[in-house]
Amino acid sequence: MAKTKKGAIEIIALQCTECNRRNYTTKKNRKNMQGKMEIKKYCKFDRKHTLHKEAKVK
């Protein structure tokens, strides 16, 4: 297995605030964004646009 180096780019999951499921994964630059990411995205389980917050990838 290759070693992963600790860089500025981090892989995160976006968790729905209503159903608490992790629907999306994305990358985040820690140098540009210090706080937690919050985006309104479509939740296929609730069938509407909801607020998704940053969570750790398992």
Nearest-angstrom CA–CA distance, 52 and 43? 9
33 found inside a domain? yes
Q: In terms of pLDDT, which residue wins out, 4 or 44?
A: 44
> Averaged over 30-58, what is the pLDDT?
94
15-31 pLDDT tens trace: 999 999 999 999 999 99
Q: CATH number for the domain including 24? A: 2.20.28.120
Q: pTM for the full model? A: 0.81
1 found inside a domain? no
Residue carrying the six token digits 């999306």: 24
List the domain range (segments joined by +) for residue 23. Answer: 10-41+48-55
4 found inside a domain? no
| Structural domains of the chain, count | 1
pLDDT averaged over every residue in the chain: 91
29 found inside a domain? yes
23 found inside a domain? yes
- Residue 55: name the closest of 39, 36, 28 by CA: 36
2 found inside a domain? no
Nearest-angstrom CA–CA distance, 41 and 28? 16
